[in-house]
Structures are given as C-alpha cells and as structure tokens.
Chains A and B, each alone.
Chain A
Amino acid sequence: AQKITQTQPGMFVQEKEAVTLDCTYDTSDQSYGLFWYKQPSSGEMIFLIYQGSYDEQNATEGRYSLNFQKARKSANLVISASQLGDSAMYFCAMRLRGAQKLVFGQGTRLTINP
C-alpha cells in the first residue's frame, strides 16, 4: 500500500528565507510519480511540481524545487526566497504509474512572517 508522511504539521519562516518541507513515502513499486500541491486559505488545491521516479534530475518550477532522494524515499519541497503569499497548506502526494488515484499526506501549514 502507498503511504505519504509529512512530519511537520506547521512551519514558521521569515520572508525571503528558503524553506524545506519534508515528505517521505512508502511503496514497493518502482514506477510512481510524486506531486506537491499548495492549498491557500481560499481552499483551492494548486499543483506546484511533479517528479517521476525514473527522472534523474530533480524537478524545478520557478522558486520551487523537489529534492528527490529515491534511496531514502524522500521528496522534499524547497521554496527559495519565500514570499508572504507562500503562506498556505502544502500537500505531498503520490500516484503509482498505471494507477489512477493520488494519495495525499496530512499536509504542512507554512506561515511566512514579514
């Protein structure tokens, strides 16, 4: 069975600092995809970044990068130069290749302080 673990229920970071949100996963499958979503206070789920299990390079999207360590089964999200608008819940998720459903972690609430 798939499982996603986010061990940080909340994080407080100073504006302009970099922040790392932790995510570990558990699966016996070799082919899977890892996702990060952002949920601001308005409630919608916003896709941020994707990493395939066979991708050799860490995924990057603007200020977001995914620190993928396959042997450790971790997929941490790194946000560089944090902004006040980054304050939100962040969810890590996984989908097995060939399967349909996305399994989510419990989320991390990130607060950026001015």
Chain B
Amino acid sequence: DARVTQTPRDKVTEMGQEVTMRCQPILGHNTVFWYRQTMMQGLELLAYFRNRAPLDDSGMPKDRFSAEMPDATLATLKIQPSEPRDSAVYFCASGLVLGTDTGELFFGEGSRLTVL
C-alpha cells in the first residue's frame, strides 16, 4: 500500500534550534509539496517541487526555511533557527502530474512541530 512517509511525527524543540523534517514521496510521483497547517492560517503552501526542481517557494520565509529534494525518494524541510511561531503541523504531499492532468495529492500523516 503506497503512502507518503514523514518523519518525525512529533518534534518538540527549543527556540533557536535547527529542525529538519523529512518526507518520502510515493514512488513514481513527480511532484512534492510542503504545506503548513495552523489553527489561524489553515493550510498554507510553503514550497513544491516537480521532478525534483523547486517550482515555487514563495510561501516560505526565506531567511529561516529551506526545502530541498536531494533525490527522488527524499524531500526535506529545514528551519534554522526555529521560532515559537513555527509551531504547526507540516504536511508533505506527493502526486503524479502529467501535463494538464489534475490528479489527486496524497498526503503524509504530518509532522507536528512545537517550538518552545
């Protein structure tokens, strides 16, 4: 049963620490997304990749956030230094987008980040 895998599931850290979240997309999917969910803002798109190339990271605070796909089986989202306002659930999603096809996205179970 193919699924998107995210680690860690839960992370508690102190302000100023570096946080790295990892995502293994579904094999064969060519797009990967990072979303952040908070009560106040709902689901916000942070960044996404197609065929491992970053297409849009305009939703991401550039000074502290970075997203990469070192290979097709791994996407990372890094926060350095972390701040309390970064506390949220971070979702990774992958999909197979072919030309103009509007296929569904498959979400991981999320990484709940708490920054004290």
CA distance A68 to B103 in the complex (A): 18
CA distance A102 to B56 in the complex (A): 12
Q: Is residue B55 contacting chain A, with contact meaning CB distance below 8 A?
A: yes
Q: Is residue A35 contacting chain B, with contact meaning CB distance below 8 A?
A: yes
Enumerate 28 A-B pairs (CB-CB under 8 Å) in ascending A order.
Answer: A37-B107, A42-B109, A43-B109, A43-B110, A43-B112, A44-B107, A44-B108, A45-B93, A47-B104, A47-B105, A47-B106, A50-B104, A52-B102, A91-B43, A97-B100, A100-B31, A100-B48, A100-B55, A100-B56, A100-B97, A101-B33, A101-B48, A102-B33, A102-B45, A102-B93, A102-B105, A104-B42, A107-B42
Q: Is the CB of A43 within 8 A of B89?
A: yes
CA distance A26 to B88 in the complex (A): 27
Q: Which residue of B lies closest to A33 (CB)?
A: B102
Q: Is residue A32 contacting chain B, with contact meaning CB distance below 8 A?
A: yes
Chain B residue numbers with a CB within 8 Å of A37 are: 107
Q: Is residue B78 contacting chain A, with contact meaning CB distance below 8 A?
A: no
User: Which residue numbers of B lie inside 8 Å of A, CB to CB?
Assistant: 31, 33, 42-43, 45, 48, 50, 55-56, 89, 91, 93, 97, 99-100, 102, 104-110, 112
CA distance A106 to B37 in the complex (A): 10
Q: Is the CB of A35 within 8 A of B33?
A: no
> A42 → chain B, closest Cβ, in Å?
8
CA distance A43 to B106 in the complex (A): 13
User: Which residue numbers of A lie inside 8 Å of B, CB to CB?
Assistant: 31-33, 35, 37, 42-47, 50, 52, 91, 95, 97-98, 100-107
CA distance A52 to B89 in the complex (A): 29
Among B42, B97, B102, B104, chain A packs the most CB atoms within 10 A around the CB of B102
> A33 → chain B, closest Cβ, in Å?
3
CA distance A52 to B109 in the complex (A): 26
Chain B residue numbers with a CB within 8 Å of A32 are: 102
Q: Is the CB of B100 within 8 A of A98?
A: yes
> B56 → chain A, closest Cβ, in Å?
7
CA distance A35 to B93 in the complex (A): 14
CA distance A113 to B107 in the complex (A): 28
Q: Which residue of A lies closest to B102 (CB)?
A: A33
